[in-house]
Structure 1
Amino acid sequence: MDLGIRGKKALVTGADSGIGWETARLLLAEGVEVLISDKDQESLDEAARALDADPDRLHAIAADVTDTASVENLAAQAQNVLGDIDILVQSSGVTGAQGLFHEIDEEGWRSTLDVDLMGPVRLLRAFLPALRRGGWGRIVLLTSEDAVQPYDDELPYCSAKAGVLALAKGLSRSYASEGLLVNAVSPAFIHTPMTDAMMDKRADEKGTDRDGAIESFLVEERPYMELGRRGEPEEVASVITFLCSDRASFVNGSNYRVDSGSVATI
């Protein structure tokens, strides 16, 4: 299917691995010129090599979403390399502070919110002027099942993702008349380095291996994931890429769950 975005220009953050990397790969396959970004330039360069794309259509620039100056520098470099972008996919994030509410201190809350909520805010503030100039644009913000189905042992992450979901909905009302459509995608338990780390920690606690930790996690913590497995990054990236496309021209302010049924309500 031709998604109608050949020649468009995109920024994908959190793109050194996982969902961000797969999204960049699919956008490149659709003929989009892509700038990938993440915190570490070395891992980002490695990710760019793995994408094996025409160097004229793939660029890699590191930025720290917790640092306003770093994000503003990314915007300036993006302008030099690409000009105005048409597509922004915000995929960077961390699990952050974990534990029951009384076990997490203020710094745990602050550091998690700084990446998972204020990170998207900083990126949007820096890139919104360029996105508004073109008369056609797409913003896709990565949230989580946790935004609408919070878990008591990761409330800072859940709260941040609920904030991102509200941010996406609010933005969708502000700029649609200018041709800029804003949507959210909410994955659940995807096969990424972040969930690998979570499962390795669980394996240590339970005296098992990663596969055993995944199996017990699905049974005990995610019983509504009816497919009984972790999702793959490309399964999320396919939805993101659709929302970035001309095929999604009447989709605005929506939240697409890619969660195997994990969220228990409709």
Structure 2
Amino acid sequence: MDLGIAGRIAVVTGGDSGMGFKTAEYLLREGVKVVLTDIDDGKLQRAVEKLAALGEVRAVAADLSGMKGAEVLKAFADMAFDEKPTILVTAAGITGASGDFLDIDDDGWLEAIQVDLMAAVRAARAFIPHMRKAGWGRVILFSSEDAVQPYVEELPYAAAKAGIMNLAKGLSKAYGPDGVLVNTVAPAFIATPMTDAQMQKKSTEKGISFDEAVQQTLDEERPGIVAKRRGKAEEVAAMVAFLCSKQASFVTGAYVRVDGGSVMTAV
């Protein structure tokens, strides 16, 4: 299927691994030129080297938990190719502080809010103005199942992801008339470095194997996942690519679950 986005310029945050990396891969395969960004931890350049055979990709290290990082990203992205970006995908995120609500201090809350909510705010604020001017844009913000089905040990993360839902809906109303479509994808328990780390921690703490930790999580914490497995990053990336496409031109303000049925409610 031709998604009709060849030649577009996309910015993908959180792009050095996991769902961000796979999203960049899928967009490149559709002929999109990609600006990849993440924090500078040594993995970003390796990601670019893996993706380079698929198309035109550039990378810049930027920490979007602060305004300086957003400014660096915008300046680089606006100059990386012959046109400015009209696609933004915000896949960057952290689990953040976890545990009993009463044991999580303000710093724990603020870290989750800065990375999981405000980074998306800053990125959207940076790139939407040109999309409005161009009369065409796609913004895909990563939320989570936690936004509507919060787990009590991850409340800062859940609250920030609920904020992403409302941000996307508000932006879709504000800028839809200008041709800028804004949607949210909500993955659940995807096989990524983040959930790998969670499962390894559980494995160590409980004295069980990694696979047993995954199965225990599925049985006890994610009973709604009917496939009884973790999702794949490419399954999320495929949905993101569709939401960027011409075929999704009547989809905006949507909260699209890619969760294997994890969320137990209909809406």
Tell me if both proteins adopt one fold, taking TM over 0.5 as the criterion.
Answer: yes
CA contact (8 A) 2:28 2:54 kept: no
| Matching residue of 2:67 | 68
Q: Which residue of 1 aligns with 2:161?
A: 161
1-structure distance, mates of 2:203, 2:54: 40
**Structure 1 partner of 2:57:** 58
TM-score norm. by structure 2 comes to: 0.97
Please name the residue that 1:100 is paired with.
Answer: 100
Q: Is 2:120 the partner of 1:120?
A: yes
Per-residue CA deviation, residues 137-178 of structure 1 (Å, 9 max, x unaligned), is: 100000000000001000000000000010000000011111
CA–CA distance in 2 between the matches of 1:54 and 1:168? 30
Q: Distance in 2 between matches of 1:127 and 1:46?
A: 26
Structure 1: segments with no counterpart, 5+ residues: none
Counterpart-to-counterpart distance in 2, 1:126 and 1:69: 12
Q: Deviations 1:179-207 (Å, cap 9, x if unpaired)?
A: 10000000000000000000011111111
Task: Report deviation, 1:41.
Answer: 6.0
Counterpart residue number, 2:25: 25
- For 2:246 and 2:153, how far apart are their aligned partners in 1? 39
Q: Is the 8 A contact 2:128 2:137 kept in 1?
A: no
Amino acid at match of 2:61: A
Amino acid at match of 2:102: H
Residue 231 of structure 2 corresponds to residue 231 of structure 1: yes
C-alpha change, 1:41 and 1:135, in structure 2 (3 Å) is farther
Report the CA distance between 1:42 and its aligned residue.
Answer: 2.7
RMSD: 1.0
> Would the aligned equivalents of 2:231 and 2:259 in 1 still touch at CA under 8 Å?
yes
Corresponding residue number in structure 2 for 1:9: 9
Structure 1 position 47, deviation (Å)? 0.4
Identity, % of aligned pairs?
52
CA distance in 2, matches of 1:26, 1:94: 23
**8 Å CA contact retained: 1:84, 1:134:** no
Is contact 1:181–1:253 with CA below 8 Å preserved after alignment? yes
Residue 52 of structure 1, CA deviation: 3.0
Residue matched to 2:210: 210
Contact 1:5 1:30 in 2 (8 A): yes
Structure 1 Cα separation of the partners of residues 131 and 100 of structure 2: 40
Letter matched to residue 209 of structure 2: D
For the pair 1:196 / 2:196, whether they are aligned, the reply is: yes
**Helix, strand or coil: the match of 1:153?**
helix
| Residue pair 1:141, 1:184 contacting (<8 A) in 2 also | yes
| Residues 205-259 of structure 1: CA deviation (Å, up to 9, x unaligned) | 1111211100101001111111000000000000000001111000010011000
* Amino acid aligned to 1:69: K
User: What CA distance in whole angstroms lies between the structure 1 residues aligned with 2:116 and 2:87?
Assistant: 20
Structure 2 match to 1:139: 139
Structure 2 stretches lacking a partner, 5+ long: none
Equivalenced residues, count: 265
CA distance in 1, matches of 2:6, 2:126: 24
SS at match of 1:42: coil
Query: Offset at 1:54?
Result: 5.9
1:261 maps to 2:261? yes
Q: Indicate the residue corresponding to 1:79 in structure 2.
A: 78
User: Do the aligned residues in 2 keep the contact of 1:17 with 1:47 (CA within 8 Å)?
Assistant: yes
How far apart, in 1, do the equivalents of 2:68 and 2:130 lie? 18
Whole-angstrom CA distance in 2 between matches of 1:92 and 1:146:
16
Q: What secondary structure, in the 3-state scheme, does the structure 1 residue paired with 2:11 have?
A: strand
AA partner of residue 74 (structure 1) = L
Q: For 1:194 and 1:167, how far apart are their aligned partners in 2? A: 24
Which amino acid is 1:174 matched to?
A: A
